[in-house]
Amino acid sequence: AFERLRDPSHNRAFNEAEWTSMCAAADIAVDHREHYIKRHQFLAWARRQGNDDATIKQLVQMLREAPSAAQAWMDPTEWGRESATFVNRHIIIRGRAQ
């Protein structure tokens, strides 16, 4: 809901098992997986999609009220300030057609 509010075109994020399964179904052999964490400046991230102040306030409130596990996953710093940051997590999967 958080990411979809910022960018409605983002429907959902597949997890590693789902990506691996889709690769296998497409006859692609996964030969490399890499996880990385990217820290974002919250305001720049939110404004990138042209969000207005009201939407940004909603995003701030959503993370403030999120369960502790979600807050730990996103690791916000200085939340509610102009210097606020958070992380999101990515996976790079490389595969080759079999």
Q: What are phi and psi of 41, to 5 degrees?
A: -75, 115
The predicted structure's pLDDT at residue 38: 97
Ranges of beta strands (E only) in the chain are: 28-41, 85-97
The predicted structure's pLDDT at residue 36: 95
Tokens of 39: 């820290």
The predicted structure's pLDDT at residue 41: 98
Domain range for 77: 2-97
The predicted structure's pLDDT at residue 64: 95
19-26 contacts at long range (C-beta below 8 A, 24 or more positions apart): 19/91, 19/93, 20/93, 23/93, 23/95
- Looking at the structure of the chain, the number of domains it has is 1
Mean pLDDT by 10 residues, the chain (98 residues): 86 92 97 97 95 96 96 96 96 96
The predicted structure's pLDDT at residue 61: 96
| Cα(11)–Cα(33) distance, integer angstroms | 23
The predicted structure's pLDDT at residue 1: 84
Domain CATH code at residue 7:
3.40.50.150
